Amino acid sequence: MCSCFEIKVKGAKFGPRTGLLSTGHGVISSPFFMPVATKGAVKFVTHEELQMDMGVECLISNAFINYLNPGLSLIAKAGGLHKFMGWDKGLFTDSGGFQLILDHFVHKISDKGVVFRNPFDKSLELVSPEKAILIENALGSDVAMCLDHQPVFGKSRTDYLDSLIRTIEWAEVCKKTFDKNENKINKKQLLFGITQGGVHIDLRVKAAQALNEIGFDGIAIGGFGIGEAQRDMYNVISASKKVIPEHKPVYVMGIGSPLELLNAVGCGADIFDSAYPTRMARHGLIFTHSGPLKIDRGVHKQSFVPLDNECGCFVCKKYSRAYLHHLYKTHEQNGLLLLSYHNTFFVTNLMKNIRTSINEGTFWEFKKDFEKKYVGKS
Ligand SMILES: [Zn+2]
């Protein structure tokens, strides 16, 4: 039985809950959102801002990208990925599975693993499930993720079934490799399995049951955030929750819009990650309590109000939409810094408010009020 996750407050069965995930770098309050630090840094937001200003307790980095550059020997010399990055809080590493949907990264997928195209020097590199785990063990993250096979969105049911079977076979190898390796630099490192199966409920249930039998510290639901209908995604989370043991943390990978986070928490999910908030900021799409706004629109040119009156971040306290519109339109890099800061603060603060509402038994009212203002929904 996993002793890494403690449920704090739960409402209805399979509904929203708060909890504590114990890691080698502190205890993380759930549900939580992890900003994405693929290469060891969140784009345009510093570790200090994340930790000191926003209270972020956990990031996710990409094991394969770090393995390629700067490489394991340099990271080992630094004392592991935490020390190399200068981040002493929670840290997940993805095995690289998400990259599988990107054609320019993947040369070939077989039962042996994935042959990636090194984006730095274009050479080919086989990452087997064993190798993926040994890389993550060497990086010393707090939570390692199994190598999974994520099909491109919209593939046939047969393709999703094939990817699921392969992902489960790899998960068995990952678990054996993880248990056998006594040279982990993070002795408290945890291992999560990942389900695939697209929007096919029966496949997702089958995948979760297979992962339960193998025995992981937590279960991740992979393959979302790439074009599926939101309703299908929530159905998958709800169905998966019914077969995943209650004491296991459930991580929905790749979602990060305010409404998705609220809904997925409502389905009982505990952990999330996505580059969406920072990527949207760089595209000028800004989260506010009154709904998203596009900062490049002419309507903001002479608007001397904050991005969001209800946001407590320093950008909203100090700068006007007019100024941020000017920086964005003139491609001033500081504009991207300020907008990325605000969006990350917004999502982090949303998760804090979600946790408070669950603890106080007011989650559904909080959700309804938030959605009403955000999308004008009654
Ligand atoms: Zn703000």
pLDDT digits (tens, 9 = 90+) for 15-52: 999 999 999 999 999 999 999 999 999 999 999 999 99
User: Using CA atoms, how far apart are residues 180 and 189, in angstroms rounded to an integer?
Assistant: 13
pLDDT at 308: 98
Q: Is 91 helix (H, G, I), strand (E, B) or coil?
A: strand
d(CA 348, CA 89): 15
CA distance 235 to 24: 33
What tokens were used for 40? 């060891």
pLDDT of residue 296: 98
Give bridge partners of residue 127 from the DSSP assignment. 114
- CA of 30 from ligand 1 middle (Å) equals 22
CA of 335 to the centre of ligand 1 (A): 13
The bridge status of strand 17-23 relative to strand 218-221 is unpaired
Q: What is the mean pLDDT of each run of 10 residues along the chain (378 residues)?
A: 86 92 98 96 98 98 92 97 98 76 74 84 90 97 94 82 94 98 96 94 97 98 80 95 97 95 98 97 98 98 98 98 98 98 98 98 97 80
Q: Measured in angstroms, how far is the CA atom of residue 279 from the centroid of ligand 1?
A: 16
Q: Work out whether the CA dihedral 92, 226, 297, 350 comes out positive or negative.
A: negative
- Stated as kind and residue range, the H or E segment containing 8 is strand 5-10
At residue 361, the pLDDT reads: 96
Query: ∠ CA 269-275-277 to the nearest 5 degrees?
Result: 90
User: Measured between alpha carbons, how far is 14 from 199 in angstroms, rounded to an integer?
Assistant: 19
Q: Are 36 and 60 in contact (CB under 8 A)?
A: yes
Coil/strand/helix, residue 237: helix
Q: Residue 258 Cα, ligand 1 centroid: separation in angstroms?
A: 14
- The pLDDT, as a whole number, for residue 378 is 41
**Predicted pLDDT at 96:** 67
Domains of the chain: 5-274 (3.20.20.105), 282-378 (no CATH)
Query: Ligand 1 centroid vs 142 CA: distance in angstroms?
Result: 30
**Ligand 1 centroid vs 242 CA: distance in angstroms?**
37
Work out the angle at residue 375's Cα, subtended by the Cα atoms of residues 374 and 378, and round it to the nearest 5 degrees. Answer: 105
Q: Which residue has the tokens 């095995």?
A: 95
Tell me, in angstroms, the distance from the centre of ligand 1 to residue 87's CA.
24
273 is catalytic: yes
CA of 260 to the centre of ligand 1 (A): 20
| Cα 313 to Cα 134: distance, rounded to the nearest angstrom | 40
Instruction: Let me know: does 374 contact 258? Beta carbons within 8 Å.
Output: yes
Catalytic residue among 217, 270, 273, 308: 273
Active-site annotation holder among 94, 142, 217, 270: 94
Q: Rounded to two decimals, what is the model's pTM?
A: 0.96
Tell me how many degrees the CA angle 28-33-34 measures, rounded to the nearest 5: 85
Instruction: Kindly give the distance from the C-alpha atom of residue 91 to the centroid of ligand 1, in angstroms, as a whole number.
Output: 25
370 vs 64: CA distance, rounded Å: 37
